[in-house]
Structure 1
């Protein structure tokens, strides 16, 4: 009689013994990710943010090669396949509400990311604080007023449909939901 086979979940988890975990950071982030799967490129307009983020990544994963790119998200030629390559996943977490301009300008830049996303299994995901179509609590209203007044945010006019509709035109599959005052989104299947 054959022994019962382990489920896929158990087989995948079995490898992570205490002995293996001592070598994990050197093996997976240090060898596999940069050399086999070409991971971790950080892009930002602010060099200080790039330095801080890459330092955190390197502290957490000592042997990970973290590439940084100084670029403007809103500039049409800033994020191109010729300068960056293509990616399996692109995060636009907590970015859009900080960008200047009307929501339409931000949405154009967001959907432009489809050109650096791999067509098969590529995913663009993110979250942004909305200014319209949601209810901010008292503290949230104060922060919106303060940050918009100082130019840290420019999201008074940002509505979920400002981003969801352009994403739906540019991608085959778009999932989204509002949690509190934030839009969470995921887009797959970039169209030409």
Structure 2
């Protein structure tokens, strides 16, 4: 059964303006390093490796990675996609120098955007926030594929409870976030992520860093 719009909105409603103001410190600074054991510089390097000059970012957070990554073009085309207007506004202001396109869309339904398809699509820390099991959340890739050029790369990361090593703090915090509806990844695992990606893309690569799975694949 597909998640409802209300369930999808509940997973991203936590991203208020107040939270976004401290997100970089709490999540990218503290949780990534000390709890998830997936350091933010490692995620930034993943962006640097895969981002193109014609890029769509889905689940934009604060725009941290787009602000700091090295685009292979002086004037890249950058588009932002999220259901949360606070996140869209925050990220758009942060990277205003790129004049980003913004789209408020549900990635678990058919998506339409203005303009040409993209050479890269980033989905960083998105999947574990989408409602449903990983078989359901992976459908986001099906809706994103029409927005990608042939040969385009999709890349990102997700936090997993299965198939990775988790410490006590990671288990407790992940359980808390699932109970609050911020995460929906209780049954996610590395094997399922691998299967869902390889069913849709080629040249799939997955690297486990702490609780994080950093992945990429080409259309």
TM (normalized to structure 2)? Answer: 0.63
Q: Which residue of 2 aligns with 1:25?
A: none
Say whether the 8 Å CA contact 1:111–1:167 is kept in structure 2: no
After TM superposition, where is structure 1 displaced by more than 6 Å over at least 4 residues in a row?
none
Greater RCO (CA < 8 Å, at least 6 residues apart): 2
* 1:52 corresponds to which of 90, 94, 105: 90
Alignment deviations for residues 44-88 of structure 1 (CA, whole Å, 9 cap, x no partner): 000001011111112xx3xx211110001111x1x24x6564101
Partner Cα separation in structure 2 for residue 172 and residue 102 of structure 1: 23
Specify whether residues 88 and 180 from structure 1 end up closer, same or farther in structure 2 by C-alpha distance, changes over 3 A only. Answer: same
Q: Which structure has the bigger radius of gyration? A: 1
SS in 2 for 1:40: strand
Q: Which residue of 2 aligns with 1:74?
A: 108
Figure out how many residues of one structure are paired with residues of the other and give that number.
148
- How far off is 1:149 after superposition? 0.6
Match runs of 1:87-98 below 5 Å: 87-98=118-129
TM (normalized to structure 1)? Answer: 0.71
* 1:131 corresponds to which of 161, 169, 189: 161
Q: Which residue of 1 aligns with 2:138?
A: 107
- How far off is 1:164 after superposition? 1.8
Residue segments in structure 2 that go unaligned for 5+ positions in a row: 1-70
Say whether the 8 Å CA contact 1:107–1:162 is kept in structure 2: no
Residue segments in structure 1 that go unaligned for 5+ positions in a row: 1-28
Q: Which residue of 1 aligns with 2:185?
A: 155
RMSD: 1.9
